[in-house]
Amino acid sequence: MQRCRGGASRGATPGEVQGRVPEGVAGRHSHFRQGPGCQRVFWPGTHHDRMQALVDTLRGLKAVGT
């Protein structure tokens, strides 16, 4: 499989990624991104949720320490 060598991913509709993501993912998500060269599909899954929680925690620490 060819990997993208940079470039911004573009938005993709659920219809565009149908059959290329697990069935459960397709049912739970409506926003997808697609690599411009590799056409790999990405969605905000649990990793995104964990990273957002970390960012929120760090922002809270900065506010306390200011």
Name residue 50's amino acid.
R
Would the pTM count as exceeding 0.85? no
Give per-residue pLDDT as tens, 27-50.
889 899 998 888 889 888 888 889
| Cβ-based neighbour number of residue 23 at 10 Å | 9
Give per-residue pLDDT as tens, 21-31.
998 898 889 89
Provide the percentage of residues in the chain whose pLDDT is more than 90: 29
Query: What gap in Å lies between CA 41 and CA 35, rounded to an integer?
Result: 7
Q: How sure is the predictor about 8, in pLDDT bands with cuts at 50, 70 and 90?
A: confident
